[in-house]
Amino acid sequence: MSDREQDRGSGPVPPGGLLDSPELSSLVAELNRSHAADAEAKAKFETAERAASKSPRSSPDDGPDRWPATAAPAAPGRAPDDGGWSERARSADRTADRTADRTADRTAAEYGTGLFGGSLLGAQRRVVGIDSRLGRILDDVRSAGATDLHLVAGQRPRLRIDGSLVVRGGPVAADTIESLFADRLTVRERDQLRTVAATDLSLRLEGGHGGRFRINLHRQAGGHAAAIRALPTRVPSLDELDLPAELASLVERDSGLVLVCGPTGSGKSSTLAALVDGINRRRAVHLITIEEPMEFEHLPDQALIEQVEIGIDAPSFPEALRSALRQDPDVILLGEMRDLESLSTAMTAAETGHLILGTLHTTDAAQSIHRILDLYPENAQNQVRQQLAMSLEAVVCQRLVPRLDGRGVVPAVEVLRATFPVRQQIRAGQIQKLYNEMLMGRKDGMVSLEASLAKLVRRGLVGEDQALLRSRRPEELKSLLAHG
């Protein structure tokens, strides 16, 4: 029996079950009452929001009440924006906050706050009424089959459809982005906008009107901008993503660190979601996802699934990860390993009997290992190499390549598996030799990015010119294509 099984306890269940004791029965009854109160309060919030956001639905044509208003010409000599929300938007934001706080206070007084009273209002900000101005814009994004919408003050909106940007509507007025999103932000997100000039959040259209959206709000050229990603309404499979079926074997182990890497917009989140879905359908485990924001919703199947969103359910990745490790998890998905504390905790968890899935913004397997090591001071490098060599299971790096038929993109995938030779190279700090280990490890399921690109070209899915643009070793790719 493993240490984790002993910790969980394996003694007999007393007659009548674990809930037979009066203390536990009382606690469960209290939890049920709190849950019912929260559910009733949430329903009241949804009714209030729908009533507040009701307005006549516009026609499908482009218009000022559906797409952002046309920007007025800038006055000559106008002073640049001060870097924060405009005073009018801030005033509206404060008014919305006071109204929401009063509503929350009334709801709390009438229904009680439950065990986690402060979370309901934050979650409610994420629901967008379908008849609100923002709701109509998001609905149009989904109806057009777009993956992204870009709003930049002073420029016309762009939809990304099949990988290409398509212009839609008139120029975006300077205050449009503020007015669309001001009352959707948490205190933490407002602070991020004012201090680091960018923040991420996720929104959901109410009811069954088209799913969820990931939004990045940021500043550019002294004005505001928003990048809106339409998230799939269901979790894709590896096959639907054109990913190798062999990737499913990466999450069959009970412990270890599996990294999915690539530049921004390379499909890392979709790949992780497909891997998590495979676990959910086949394994009876406790799985916790930690993301900022949460991108895919997983309905529990064989697994018990909890999904934590930074800024709503937890203050930070390190705090969320530390808390998750106290919740008897088997598998943890960490949306991004962006800091030393999260990475160190993740590697320790992977060594002590947990399967950890995470992402890095890197372009190949060797660079991923370098990125991890570079987070640590020089005097800790040797110890970290030993720990990483023990905990690592695989590194998957992917790039998206436009399809030859113009119908979207297809992923090229590099896979490094932590075989004994790979672990030895990491321990010795010979990171530059990992590429050769990958070439020699084909029988172990390893593949280089160049081999993956060559396969896509030979299958007629992508053009040779596009493949060469994404290759880190174009001469090797040419050689693979020349020799079949």
**Mean pLDDT comparison of 47-56, 184-193, 330-339, 409-418, highest-scoring range:** 409-418
Q: What is the pTM of this model?
A: 0.71
Model pLDDT, residue 321: 94
Architecture per CATH, domain 30-71+85-230, reads as: 2-Layer Sandwich (3.30)
- What average pLDDT does range 222-231 have in this prediction? 91
**pLDDT 10s digits, 109-139:** 333 344 444 444 455 567 898 889 999 999 9
3-state helix/strand/coil string of the chain: CCHHHHHHCCCCCCCCCHHHCHHHHHHHHHHHHHHHHHHHHHHHHHHHHHHHHCCCCCCCCCCCCCCCCCCCCCCCCCCCCCCCCCHHHHHHHHHHHHHHHHHHHHHHHHHCCCCCCCHHHHHHCCEECCCCHHHHHHHHHHHCCCCEEEEEECCCCEEEECCEEEECCCCECCCHHHHHHHHHCCHHHHHHHHHCCEEEEEEEECCCCCCEEEEEEEEECCEEEEEEEECCCCCCCCCCCCCCHHHHHHHCCCCEEEEEECCCCCCHHHHHHHHHHHHHHHCCCEEEEEECCCCCCCCCCCCEEEEEEECCCECCHHHHHHHHCCCCCCEEEECCCCCHHHHHHHHHHHHCCCEEEEEECCCCHHHHHHHHHHCCCHHHHHHHHHHHHHHEEEEEEEEEEECCCCCCEEEEEEEEECCHHHHHHHHCCCHHHHHHHHHHCHHHCCECHHHHHHHHHHCCCCCHHHHHHHCCCHHHHHHHHHCC
Which tops the pLDDT comparison, 365 or 12? 365
Model pLDDT, residue 94: 53
Span of 42-46, 122-126, 136-140, 181-185 with lowest mean pLDDT: 42-46
**pLDDT 10s digits, 67-105:** 555 544 444 444 444 444 445 445 544 555 554 454 444
- Residue ranges of domains in the chain: 30-71+85-230, 245-447
Q: Please, which pLDDT band fits residue 208 given cuts at 50, 70 and 90?
A: low
Model pLDDT, residue 66: 54
Model pLDDT, residue 186: 82
**pLDDT 10s digits, 415-447:** 999 999 999 999 999 999 999 999 999 999 999
Model pLDDT, residue 85: 45
**pLDDT 10s digits, 334-375:** 988 888 999 999 999 999 999 999 999 999 999 999 999 999
Name the CATH superfamily, with its identifier, for domain 245-447. Answer: P-loop containing nucleotide triphosphate hydrolases (3.40.50.300)
- What average pLDDT does range 142-155 have in this prediction? 92
pLDDT at 263 over 50: yes
Q: Please, which pLDDT band fits residue 40 given cuts at 50, 70 and 90?
A: low
Model pLDDT, residue 238: 96
pLDDT at 9 over 70: no
Model pLDDT, residue 162: 79
- What average pLDDT does range 466-470 have in this prediction? 95
The mean of the pLDDT values for the chain is: 81
pLDDT at 376 over 70: yes
pLDDT at 277 over 90: yes
Model pLDDT, residue 375: 92
Span of 272-286, 308-322, 354-368 with lowest mean pLDDT: 308-322
Model pLDDT, residue 362: 94
- What average pLDDT does range 306-335 have in this prediction? 93
pLDDT at 22 over 70: no
Span of 230-239, 283-292, 364-373, 385-394 with lowest mean pLDDT: 230-239
**Tokens linked to 383:** 């110890």
pLDDT at 226 over 90: yes
Model pLDDT, residue 116: 44
